[in-house]
Structures are given as structure tokens and as C-alpha cells.
Amino acid sequence: MPFGEQALQFERRMNKARSAVFELAGAATAPLDAAHRHVLKVKRVADVLAKHDGREPLSLKKRAVSHQVPKKGDKRRGDRKLDVSDLDEILEIDPLARTCTVEPGVTFVDLVEVTMAYGLVPTVVPELETITVGGAVSGCSLESMSFRYGGFHDSCLEYEVVTTDGKVLTCRPDNEHRLVFEMMHGSFGTLGVLSKLKFRLVPAKRYVKVTYDTFATLPEYKAAIQRHVDAGDVDFMDGIIHSPTKYVLCLGHFVDRAPYTHRYDWVKIYWQSTGSRKEDYFHVADYFFRYDRGVTNVHPRSFVGRLLFGKLLSSAALLRIADTFNGLFSAERPTVTVDLFLPVSRVESFMRWYRGAIDHFPLWCVPYKRPRHYEWIATGYLDGIEDDLFLDIAIYGLEQPPGRNYYEEIERALFEARGIKTLISHNYYDEETFWKIWNKPNYEAVKRITDPRNVLRDLYTKTCRAARGID
Ligand SMILES: Cc1cc2nc3c(=O)[nH]c(=O)nc-3n(C[C@H](O)[C@H](O)[C@H](O)COP(=O)(O)OP(=O)(O)OC[C@H]3O[C@@H](n4cnc5c(N)ncnc54)[C@H](O)[C@@H]3O)c2cc1C
């Protein structure tokens, strides 16, 4: 069925569902449209924030599970909650302008289902089904189209931000709130509440064909990545580094037809398949969420475990269980789950250090093109780095031996390489080093506008102290 027809059918289904709901509810009047409902929801959030006395920290409660690494003792769990769980509607899709406007709690699995009815997808679809659009901006999400488009934030055109004194700002790259717009990227919920986001969509086809190229050395691997970035001859690119002598590059193309399709949400493990297959085909959504059972750290670990429970243990289910039982984790030696963004010219020297110090494989590798300088990176930190291309090297599920703190060791090596880590896991930076990487003047300028009473904690305190249970 052509996509236009699918979109019409989708709208008909939505209208029918709406009428049925209102019939059931016996509503005499027409339903509020999404835009009107949105205004009321935002007013409620703004009122709660304006009335908050500012004495204790607030954190967000959303409907979908949080994709932060669950940490024992994280102060966030004891915070008073600002409930934003009703902010989860898709407000508008404009298929001609190829834009989409949503509330922040919309999950990517729901979003892709709806945009695909128009033959469109977001430029960046993070690999776990229930990551939300608001979380993707605040937590710096990326994926296999990032070699072309950067992070999800880079596709965004406008944010609506509710400040903690109850003001509602419309922020765009070209208006008076430009710096607020840019600094929402990677703000981890410390610079106000994103309540609406407008972003670009790109054309898609129904299937994705992936081919796998294997290289024996890092220089060959890097050269192949650069070739595809320069040629722009693929739609998707990521990779699995199986070992120091086996580098697999996964190259995807949208296609209209597929001779067969696979999905990796039960017993088969996607990253392992990349080591033996030459090619694979997917329905678009199954491609996007191929790592949902874990990237290189898949649970359950055993075949029998996956056979029995694999269908039930989505990333969302696992994260909920892990968060509930966080007390069982080691606070001293937590398992390492971290994404490291390395300027491409520094990857070899970093990997030499990594092999000597840690030497854990497989690693996930996502090429990431920084489309422009990011305002949240400290002035001077990337001086001397000419690269637009970064490689995200992700280490997932690495156990730490006694007497070592891999997180701290990685932070030091990354600083030398002028790399940047995402703040979703355990962070040990001292405050001085942290603000040599993250841009304090820009952060403070926006904080004064969006959270002048510091109700949401500052970025350093939230991610490097409170997350580890330190006041
Ligand atoms: C095991 C694991 C695997 C991962 N794999 C991937 C991957 O494959 N690809 C990828 O791109 N990313 C991945 N991530 C990282 C993920 O993209 C980020 O953690 C992202 O921020 C998660 O979004 P979320 O919707 O779950 O938001 P949450 O985790 O709930 O929130 C993230 C941060 O954003 C803030 N926030 C959320 N909503 C709002 C809002 N409306 N306004 C202001 N601030 C808000 C929160 O306060 C929080 O600090 C992974 C994370 C984990 C833990």
C-alpha cells in the first residue's frame, strides 16, 4: 500500500478511535483538540513550578522508563516529583514541510509508527524503543544516521521550555532565546522543562538492507568510515568492534523490497549476527530497534533464558527491574556502561591506551558528525581538534576488577584525547575538570533565565554528585 494511503488510513483510524472514546464517555461537546489540551497541560506544569517554594530539589516523573544507568543511592529517587507524564502526545505532522511537533514524553517506538504512515522518519532514532523525544535532547541521543545528521537535537527547529518560575518560552536558533535553545542539548533536566519540540523528518522506505564489511585493523576501519561519510553513499552506518583484529562496519540502505526480514527481539542477538552475516534485511522499525535487548550487553545472557523470557525482557522492562533493585548493585564497583565521543584523529591513541589498560571487547561504534560547534562544550576544550567527525565508542556491561575504577581511568584518558562522555552513567569528574569540558559561562547564563532558584540542581551536582548519592 502506498504511504499516502497508509497516512489517510491512519488518520481515519485515529478519528474513529476518538469518536468511539467520546461516544463511550457520553460527551456532548466536541473533544478538545491536541493543541488546546497541550496549552492546559503546560499551564498545569507552569503553575506547579511557580508555586514550588524552591527549598528542595525537583525531578521529573514521566510515563516511560528512564534510560539512565540505574545507580545505587541516586538522590533523584527521593526527590519531590514534577509529574509530566501527560505530556506525551504527537501534536502535528506536516508531511509537506516534513516536520513533526510533539510533547516530550512521546517514545520513539510510537513516533516511528506514526511518521512511517507518511513515509517519513526522524533523522535520529535512538536504538531503544521507549527513549523519549525530550530525553533524546536532554541526554544527547544519537544513532546510525548520526554520521550525517549529528544528534537528535540537531534536527530540532523549536523548543517550548517551561522555566522553574513558571514562564513559558519559545526557543529557536534565530530568536532571543537562541542560547536557551542550544543549551537544552545535554542539559539533563537541569535547565527547565521541555514541553514541546518541533523537528525535521526525512523520507524513508519500508525496509532497510544492511551489509557488513569486515576489517582487520583500526586504520582501515577508520578509512572506510571516512570514505562513506565523504561519499554520502549509505543511509545508516554503525559498527561492532568484535576484537582488536575484527572491525565490522554495518552499512544500511532504505529499500522498497526485501527478500526476507529478521528481527532481534527474542533469541537471536544482533551484534553477534554482524560477525557472521554478509547482509540482512529489516522492516524499518525492526532495524531502528535492533539493539533493544541490549547493544553488546544482551539479557538474558543464556540461550535458554532468552528462549523463555527474551520476548518479555525489552530494554524498558529490564531498566525498570534494575531501577527497582538498584540496592543490589555495587556502589564501589558498578558495571561500566558508557559512551565515549572521540575526535576521529584521536581514536588510535585512545585505543592504544584502552588496550593496555582495559582491553574489553566487543565495543559498539557510531560515527557522529558534529554539524557545528556546540555551545555546551567549553571554549578552548577542542582547540587544535580539526575533526568534524567523532566516533562514539560504547562500552556496555564491563565488570570492574577489585581495586580499579575504570570510570575514573576512562575520564582521565578521555580528557587527554579531548573526548567527551555522555553523563548517563557514573561520573567521577572533580568540579574543576568538569567545567573545563562543559561550558560554565553559557550554562550559567541560561540557568539564570530558566532555573534561577536552582530547583533542578546544576549539571555538575546532578550528574556527578547526586547521581552517586552525594549531597
Ligand atoms: C543501557 C542504555 C543504553 C542506551 N542506548 C542508547 C542508544 O542505543 N542510543 C542512544 O541514542 N542512546 C542510548 N542511551 C542513552 C539515552 O539516549 C539517553 O539516556 C536519553 O537521555 C534517554 O532518554 P529518556 O527518554 O529515557 O529520558 P530520561 O532518562 O528519563 O531522562 C534523561 C535526562 O533528560 C531529562 N529530561 C527528560 N525529559 C525531559 C523534559 N521533558 N524536559 C527536560 N529534561 C528532561 C531528565 O531529567 C534526565 O536528566 C542508552 C542509555 C542506557 C542507560
Instruction: Give the domain-ending residue among 203, 236, 255.
Output: 203
Mean pLDDT value of segment 86-97: 97
CA of 136 to the centre of ligand 1 (A): 6
10 & 124 share domain: no
54 & 187 share domain: yes
Cell of 469: 548519592
Q: Judge if the beta carbon of residue 182 lies within 6 A of ligand 1.
A: no
For atom 51 of ligand 1, the residue with the nearest CA is 67
H/E segment holding residue 392: strand 389-398
CA of 140 to the centre of ligand 1 (A): 8
Helix (H, G, I), strand (E, B) or coil at 374: coil
22 & 51 share domain: no
CA of 106 to the centre of ligand 1 (A): 12
**Can you list the alpha helix ranges (DSSP code H) found in 334-430?**
347-357, 406-417
H/E segment holding residue 36: helix 34-51
Identify any residues that bridge with 158 across adjacent strands, giving them in sequence order.
198
- pLDDT over 80 at 70, yes or no: yes
73 & 124 share domain: yes
Q: Which atom of ligand 1 is nearest to the CA of 127?
A: 8
* Cβ atoms within 10 Å of 77's Cβ, excluding its own: 13
17 & 71 share domain: no
CATH number of domain containing 40: 3.30.465.10
277 in a structural domain: no
260 in a structural domain: no
Residues 6+ apart with CB under 8 A from 36: none
462 in a structural domain: no
101 & 15 share domain: no
Domain span including residue 190: 33-203
- pLDDT value for 84: 98
25 & 146 share domain: no
Q: Judge if the beta carbon of residue 193 lies within 6 A of ligand 1.
A: yes
288 in a structural domain: no
Q: Judge if the beta carbon of residue 194 lies within 6 A of ligand 1.
A: yes
Sign of the CA dihedral running 107, 110, 113, 116:
negative
317 in a structural domain: no
Cell of 179: 542560547
158 in a structural domain: yes
Q: What percent of the chain has pLDDT over 70?
A: 93
77 & 17 share domain: no
For atom 28 of ligand 1, the residue with the nearest CA is 66
For atom 49 of ligand 1, the residue with the nearest CA is 188
Domain count, the chain: 2
167 & 142 share domain: yes
86 & 8 share domain: no
pTM, two decimals, is 0.93
For atom 52 of ligand 1, the residue with the nearest CA is 67
By C-alpha distance, which of 295, 299, 322 is closest to 311? 299
Q: Which atom of ligand 1 is nearest to the CA of 104?
A: 41
Instruction: Give the domain-ending residue among 180, 203, 226.
Output: 203
13 & 57 share domain: no
pLDDT by residue (tens digit) across 220-278? 999 999 999 999 999 999 999 999 999 999 999 999 999 999 999 999 999 999 999 99
27 in a structural domain: yes
Q: Judge if the beta carbon of residue 67 lies within 6 A of ligand 1.
A: yes
Mean pLDDT value of segment 23-46: 76
At 371, the pLDDT band (50, 70, 90 cuts) reads: very high
60 & 187 share domain: yes
Q: Are 389 and 167 in contact (CB under 8 A)?
A: no
Instruction: Give the domain-ending residue among 203, 234, 259.
Output: 203
CA of 399 to the centre of ligand 1 (A): 22
pLDDT by residue (tens digit) across 383-434? 999 999 999 999 999 999 999 999 999 999 999 999 999 999 999 999 999 9
67 in a structural domain: yes
Q: Judge if the beta carbon of residue 70 lies within 6 A of ligand 1.
A: no
